[in-house]
Amino acid sequence: MLTVDSDRLNIQTYIDRQIRNGVVDIQSSIPFYRVGNTTTYSLNGAIKDTEPLAVAEKASEGLLEGDMRILDGYFIDGQYDYDWQDDLSESSDSNSECSSRPLRQWPWANRHDMICGATKGYFLISISPDGGQFYIYPQVTTTDKVKIFYDGLKKTFVDTDVVTFDESVVEAVGNFVKSKVSREVDRDLNLYKSYMGSYMDDRSRLWLDARDRVTIKYSLGSELPDSIGSCGESSSCGVATSTVTDTCAGENLQYVIQ
């Protein structure tokens, strides 16, 4: 890792700390390398393997523990497909995904709209500014669950951990560490700038690579709504259509087949 004086006293402790800082910086800049997870909540934590939610008037209140950066969340309404028991003896459930409603974020300053029930018809989550508390609307009952998907920065590691860091990340972190040693230990600003420039280039390439790995390169069709096209805003361009009605979780869903 070091280009000079690799045997200096206590330098390894400094290197280990900078390796960790480099990995954290990569995760901060590129979400692809963060650690993903899921937490499920239920009323008072009555459903097995869930975290507790408390009643807050017309809403429900819960806590976010640790470094949780929420990606999305779902309100799983059990009234249409109730297939679990609200006690700790039930090991798992297979509730229909048709009853999962995506949660829309509501401003924390307006959270009392949720608490007082003024947001009827919406499925909402409001997160406190410190990221430690949240409210869910509508109120979660004994047959409901809330599933939160999130990621976070991994800052501690053990030898048995499975990580997503490949050789490109190792090389980037190596340049990050060399830049820190050049500046703080060797007091060589020119060498520091060289290594830091290499690290910034490495990080940019990693970001581009991560973007390509989670993006569909060639998509089918147009992103424009079906009602908008070259034949006019409301024209079907002479294509025959038929409507099929399906029932999912008690709701009528209509699909247009061309």
Residues 94 and 200 in one domain: no
Residues 26 and 39 in one domain: no
Residue 110 φ/ψ, nearest 5 degrees: -110, 20
Burial class (CB in 10 A: 0-12, 13-18, 19+), 229: middle
Each residue's pLDDT, cut to its tens digit, for the chain (258 residues) gives 444 444 555 788 899 999 999 999 999 999 999 988 999 999 999 888 889 999 999 999 999 988 889 999 999 876 654 455 544 444 445 545 567 899 999 999 999 999 999 999 999 999 999 999 999 999 999 888 999 999 988 888 888 888 889 999 999 999 999 999 999 989 999 999 999 999 999 999 999 999 999 888 887 666 666 655 545 444 444 444 444 444 444 455 554 444
Residue 222 lies in a domain: no
Residue 237 lies in a domain: no
CB 135 within 8 A of CB 56: yes
Amino acid (1-letter code) at residue 173: V
Residues 134 and 193 in one domain: no
Residue 231 lies in a domain: no
CB atoms near residue 247 (< 10 Å)? 9
Residues 90 and 137 in one domain: yes
Residues 89 and 188 in one domain: no
Task: Bin 240: left if φ > 0, else alpha if -120 < ψ < 50, else beta.
Answer: beta
Residues 25 and 93 in one domain: no
Closest C-alpha among 33, 50, 32 to residue 41: 50
Q: Choose the final residue of a domain: 152, 180, 199.
A: 152
Residues 148 and 192 in one domain: no
Provide the whole-model pTM: 0.69
CA distances to 28, 91, 130, 142, 225 from 237, rounded to whole Å, are: 48, 53, 52, 50, 14
Residue 17 lies in a domain: yes
Residues 43 and 112 in one domain: yes
Distance of CA 159 to the CA centre of its chain: 25
Residue 102 lies in a domain: yes
Residues 88 and 146 in one domain: yes
Q: Choose the final residue of a domain: 105, 121, 152.
A: 152
Beta bridge mates, 240: none
- CA–CA separation, 154 and 36 (whole Å): 10
pLDDT at residue number 96 = 54
Residues 67 and 99 in one domain: yes
pLDDT at residue number 228 = 52
Residues 167 and 100 in one domain: no
Give 208-214 contacts, CB < 8 A, sequence gap 24+.
209/168, 210/30, 210/31, 210/32, 210/33, 213/32, 214/32
- CA–CA separation, 25 and 153 (whole Å): 9
Closest C-alpha among 86, 220, 184 to residue 141: 86
Residues 172 and 128 in one domain: no
pLDDT at residue number 242 = 47
Residue 207 lies in a domain: yes
Provide the domain count of the chain.
Answer: 2
pLDDT at residue number 91 = 47
Which residue range is the domain that position 188 belongs to?
A: 11-30+161-213
